[in-house]
Amino acid sequence: MVGSLMLVAKIKIVCLQRELDMF
């Protein structure tokens, strides 16, 4: 379960970085 949470967190971080790059 810990591994899955880390994967979700990484995906969220990547999504946030992409949104910031859009600006």
pLDDT in tens, 1-23: 789 999 999 999 999 999 998 76
Q: How far is CA 10 from the centre of its chain?
A: 4
pLDDT at 7: 97
pLDDT at 22: 77
CA distance 2 to 20: 27
pLDDT at 8: 97
Residues 6+ apart with CB under 8 A from 4: none
